[in-house]
């Protein structure tokens, strides 16, 4: 019998095949039992999404009372033609913008619970400044410069 060395590549390949198996009628538990590593909690709420315009590397988003970012402590995914940001409002005039791509295996981060971003793929968690709180993500999320003037948030980068 041929021995297969377990690498990230073979594990990904296995998981892809297992997902196909599950779609074809196998049970999810049977299909994913060999994927290994932590799994994401299934009860994490999803962030709201808002669209914003992006021109020459600058994203602009009007924040009014109907915005998901209207109150301090809120967070949202800001979707632009050039990519998506995780944005948290940490003060009346203060916002923190992060790359929304997980540093583990590049999944889009969509979960948010208790002021913590949660990756849906393997459960990595990040604080509002992008620091890793729990792996397997190996490094923090990239942070972008923000400015809030006249009710308009700009994200540069
Ligand atoms: Fe694996 Fe985010 S891609 S934890």
Residue 143 in this model has a pLDDT that exceeds 90: yes
Mean pLDDT within 28-57: 71
Q: Ligand 1: which atom is nearest the Cα of residue 120?
A: 2
Q: Which numbered atom of ligand 1 lies nearest the CA of 102?
A: 2
**pLDDT score for 37:** 52
Percent of the chain residues past pLDDT 90, beyond the cut: 71
Q: What predicted TM-score, i.e. pTM, was given to this entire model?
A: 0.76
Q: How far is the CA of 119 from the centre of ligand 1 (A)?
A: 6
Confidence at residue 96, expressed as pLDDT on a 0 to 100 scale = 98
Kindly list the strands in the beta sheet with 132-134, ordered across the sheet, starting from the edge strand earlier in the chain: 111-113, 116-118, 125-126, 132-134
Per-residue confidence (pLDDT) for residue 156, from 0 to 100:
95
Mean pLDDT of 20-38: 38
């Amino acid at each position: 019998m041929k021995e297969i060395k377990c690498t990230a590549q073979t594990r990904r390949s296995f998981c892809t095949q297992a997902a196909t198996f599950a779609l074809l009628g196998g049970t999810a538990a049977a299909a994913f039992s060999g994927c290994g590593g932590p799994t994401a909690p299934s009860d994490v709420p999803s962030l709201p999404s808002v669209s914003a315009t992006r021109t020459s590397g600058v994203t602009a988003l009007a924040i009014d009372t109907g915005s998901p970012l209207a109150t301090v402590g809120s967070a949202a995914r800001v979707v632009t033609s050039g990519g998506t940001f995780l944005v948290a409002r940490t003060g009346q005039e203060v916002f923190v913008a992060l790359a929304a791509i997980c540093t583990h295996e590049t999944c889009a981060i969509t979960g948010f619970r208790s002021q913590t971003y949660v990756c849906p793929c393997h459960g990595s968690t990040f604080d509002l400044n992008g620091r890793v709180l729990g792996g397997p993500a190996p490094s923090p999320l990239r942070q972008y410069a923000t400015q809030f003037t006249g009710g308009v948030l700009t994200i540069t980068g």
